[in-house]
Amino acid sequence: SALAGILSGVLFIGWLIMLFGFVKLEPNEALVTLFFGKYQGTLRKTGFFYLNPFMSCKYVSLRARNLDATPIKVNDKTGNPIMIGQVIVWRLKDSYKALFDIDAETMAANATASGVTAVNRRMKAFENFVKVQSDAALRQIAGLYAYDETDTHTEGATLRSGTDEINEILEQKLNERLAMAGIEVVEARI
């Protein structure tokens, strides 16, 4: 009788532990799994799964996001100060790089907001990273072109007339800068 009670107690505790292994993934969501700190893999398939209950899991959103950066003051090629802004559509492409190749966890831990989930804090950290890198890329691109055609500068594209060419270059520069974080720029416009 005592042995049956102990056995049922152990089985009940084991059953409770096993319940923590169930996870659910929604569309455009990824789950990065770690087993005692060692990367085990990333789940991207939508559905209901059972994982080892001793694995730690980090959710990230793979949905496209917009960044409508406030205009910044930069100097164009001829040295004229201009205000220029940008709109970027971006998303996470490589969740491993996003979580482990940049300091997203520290940035997310420093983001203090009550009632905000870890996923939202993590995504805010990625948004901040994209904002800083996009400002740097915009400053670099704006310095390569004149704002408008002048007597001294008549050849090539300008920030006003060559927007398609400049947007392509901006997108390329942003993808170069954000590739280290596993982030892909879908579209960028000045």
d(CA 72, CA 55): 44
pLDDT value of position 112: 54
pLDDT value of position 80: 86
- Is 141:170 a contact under the CB 8 Å cutoff? yes
- Is 173:143 a contact under the CB 8 Å cutoff? no
Enter the DSSP assignment of 51: -
Distances (CA, A) of 110 to 106, 121, 155: 6, 9, 48
**Interval 131-183: pLDDT, tens:** 999 999 999 988 888 888 765 655 677 888 878 888 999 999 999 999 999 99
d(CA 108, CA 120): 9
pLDDT value of position 123: 87
**What is the average per-residue pLDDT within 102-110?**
66
> Could you identify the residue written with the tokens 């996003």?
98
d(CA 86, CA 36): 42
**Interval 12-67: pLDDT, tens:** 888 888 888 888 999 999 999 999 989 999 999 999 999 988 888 888 999 999 99
Contacts of 45 (CB under 8 A, 6+ apart): 25
Maximum CA extent, the chain:
100
**Interval 67-105: pLDDT, tens:** 998 899 998 888 889 899 999 999 999 998 988 888 766
Dihedral of the alpha carbons of 115, 119, 124, 126, in degrees to the nearest 10: 170
